[in-house]
Structures are given as structure tokens and as C-alpha cells.
Amino acid sequence: MRDAYLVGAAQTDFGAFPRESYRSLFSTAFEGAVDSVDGEFDRTEVDEAYVGTLGVGGRQLGLSGPAVTEFVGLDGASCTRVENACAASGTALRQATLAIRAGAADIAIAGGFEVMTDMSGDQTRYWLGVSGETEWERMSGTTFAGVYAQMADAHMAEHGTTREHLSRVAAKNHANGAKNPHAHLGFECSLEDAMNAPGVADPLNLYDCCPTSDGASVAILASEEAAEELTDTPIRVAGAGQASSRVGLFQRPTLTGIPATTDAAEQAYDEAGVEADDIDFAEVHDCFSIAELMAYEDLGFCEKGEAGPYITSGTTEPDGERPVNLSGGLKSKGHPIGATGGGQAVEVFKQLRGEAGDRQVSGLGRGLTHNVGGSGGAVAVHVFEEGWA
């Protein structure tokens, strides 16, 4: 099998940018990714482009892929828009990897964008709800926070997870995000403040929830032959896993985990020939605090039910054995739905190349990204390794 290499990656700032369009955001991310390539990158050589977006706001629902690739001079390249809710660009990343592995492309880009902050509150709540199970779950009156709150409720009852365990996710990720110049909410948040924030959907409060953001991300992937011309610091996509599950929580076999995460991780670990213990650091999908705790368990970082004690142990802090969400995660860095999975790859790219600035952790050789769509209907997990195969 041909290997795919990550040779460039960049993201815009995540935040609220009323003067930007979805196209200008994508352009900023794309040009940043081009600039991050060590060698001379010729954009006319892009064979395949995969662009993730949910299409929040409905602005360009049809042909939203070509609408951004034309803007950056990729006119003519094969372009596919990918929709997998919040896992859109993680899915795009896997599609680009598969295209290269299959020999259908030598150079492929995977990216995503979303504009979420320029709408009324009603519009935002409508669009946030479209990725839940619409006919039954949504009609029971729940929000996205509500579905994750139900998982938190069950996790607390079954495993003794506490208010403090949840808030430790917020405190850690804000501390990390405060060092990330691209972060939407780049400020620190004490454990006490996180625990005492106003309620949203019991047991989740405001600091258990990520913001909605504007932003874009782009990753450039290349075959080994093409990568040899483009980079001196190769980062190999060692494993690319993806799985789906029931869209509605009520139809899944468990309320306290995301089965598609376990399935996607198993594929990615198998491809990479590694186990969970071999992962040095990870960017996981912390759309809500409970989601990061469940990710620890579903990815195999700790035993089922042990996520609370695991975060309390400090293992996932920057100076711990396995830092998680060094970028600040969705919680602090922000969550522009279609750009999030690509943004996770940007952090892994920077950390593995030693380009993460104030938040750089030394000695990292293998990183994982975990991107969840909806409340677990789709999940993409990637394992990246420094060096040639």
C-alpha cells in the first residue's frame, strides 16, 4: 500500500469574523497550508480536493466545495464536498488519504470551513440541531448540549464521574488554548469558575460547552514520491479509521460511550500497528466536557469508567504522559463545525514538527486526532507519525 504524508497544514484564527466570508476564510487557511510546505508547492498539481462543511446558515449548500477551491485557483481539480456533521473535515482527511493510497492522487488536499456567528440566535439553534436525530430525538425537545448532558447523566450514575471531573476538562483546555494565538476563547479558566458557571442542560454548564465559531483549515497530503520533493520533515498518516453508528443516542447500545470512536480507533491502531498506549498525544473531540472524558475511554487511553480519575491524575496535562488537546481543543480553540477535524491535524502537524510555539511539548513522535460527528453518528480517527515509512 502507498503511504500518504502530511506535508502542509494550517488554520485560520477561530472566532467571530463578520468581515470574512466562507471563501476568504478558506483562502487564508489554504495559503497558510501552502506556506507551511518546506519545498516548492505548485497548486496546479492538486489532483483531489475534499472540503468539509455542514453548510451552517445555508449560504452555499450545493457545490460548496468547488465554490471555495475555485477561489484559491484550483479551478479544474476534482473537488468533493464532504458532509459528516462535525466530523466533516476529519472525514475529508481520510478521503484524501485513501485517494493517495489508492494511487488515484499524488497530491490531495483536505480541508473545511464554517461560518456560524453571523446569524440570529434562532437560526444558530436551528442549524446546531440539524445533526441530531431530527424526527424523534430533536422532537423530544433536546438540544445538542441536552444529548451530551444525557450521556453525562448516565456516566455519572454508572461510573461515579463528578462535577469536578467535567470541569477539569474545561480548566485544562483553556490553559492550553490561552497559549494558542488561533484560539477563539484563548483565556484561562479556573477549576472553580468552570464548576460554578451558569447551567445549560443539567449536569452541563456553560463551561462544559464549546463555542460556535467561524474558521477554516486545510491539510495538504502527498504520496511518498511527491512528499520526497516537498518536505524534509515527513509526517506519515500511519492509520486512518472511520466508523458510523446510530444517529440517535436512544438507538445505541450504550449511553456512556461512543461506539463509533472505539471502532474507528481500532482500525487506525491496526493500520499503524500500534496500541492506545503507544499514542504520545492526542487532539480529541471535546465539543462538551463529557465528550473528552468518554474519548479517553473509547480510545483506550484508560479503562471504561475511569476517565474521571484519569484526568485528575494529570496524565493528559501538557507535562503529563499523554497530553490531550494541547491546542485548547474545541472548548477553547473553537469549533467551526466543518473546519474542526482539519484543525486537529494542524495541531498534530505543528507539534510533530516542533512549530507549536509556547505550547510546544518536546519528545512527541506519534499523535492522534479524533473527530466526532453529531453525538456519535460518525467518527474519524487518525494516527500520525514522524518520519518516513
Q: Which stretch binds another protein (CB under 8 A): 21-29, 68-76, 91-99, 133-141?
A: 133-141
Point out which span in 68-76, 109-117, 241-249, 299-307 binds another protein (CB under 8 A).
241-249
Q: Is 21 in the site for another protein (CB under 8 A)?
A: no
Stretch near another protein under the rule CB under 8 A, chosen from 91-99, 104-112, 181-189, 194-202: 194-202
The grid coordinates of residue 39 equal 519545498
The stretch among 19-27, 144-152, 160-168, 185-193 that binds another protein (CB under 8 A) is 144-152
The single residue among 6, 99, 107, 249 that binds another protein, judged by CB under 8 A, is: 249
Q: How many CB atoms lie within 10 A of CB 212?
A: 20
Q: How many residues bind another protein (CB under 8 A)?
A: 41
CA atoms within 13 A on the CB side of 7: 32
| 335 included as an active-site residue | yes
What's the grid cell of residue 346?
A: 494542524
Could you give the CA distance from residue 352 to residue 362 in angstroms, rounded to a whole number? 9
Report whether 88 contacts 338 (CB < 8 A): yes
> In whole angstroms, how close is the CB of 204 to another protein at the nearest point?
8
Q: Is 60 in the site for another protein (CB under 8 A)?
A: no
Contact predicate 283/325, CB 8 Å: yes
Q: Looking at 86, 189, 209, 287, which residue is catalytic? A: 86
Q: What is the largest CA-CA distance in the chain?
A: 55
Of residues 280-319, which lie at the interface with another protein (CB under 8 A)? none
Looking at the chain, list the stretches that DSSP marks H as alpha helix, in order from N- to C-terminal side: 22-36, 64-69, 88-101, 121-129, 144-159, 163-177, 191-195, 224-230, 259-272, 289-298, 307-312, 329-333, 340-353
State CA 87 to chain mean position distance.
Answer: 7
224: cell is 511518498
Query: In the bound complex, what is the minimum distance in angstroms from residue 106's beta carbon to another protein?
Result: 39
Binding marks (x or -) toward another protein, 153..172, rule CB under 8 A?
Answer: xx--x---------------
How many Å apart are CA 91 and CA 372, to the nearest integer?
Answer: 10
**Nearer residue to another protein within complex by CB, 250 or 388:** 250
User: CA–CA separation, 214 vs 341, rounded Å?
Assistant: 14
Q: Which residues bind another protein (CB under 8 A)?
A: 121-123, 125-126, 129-130, 133-143, 145-146, 149-151, 153-154, 157, 198-204, 206, 246, 248-251, 253, 255
Active site residue ranges: 86, 335
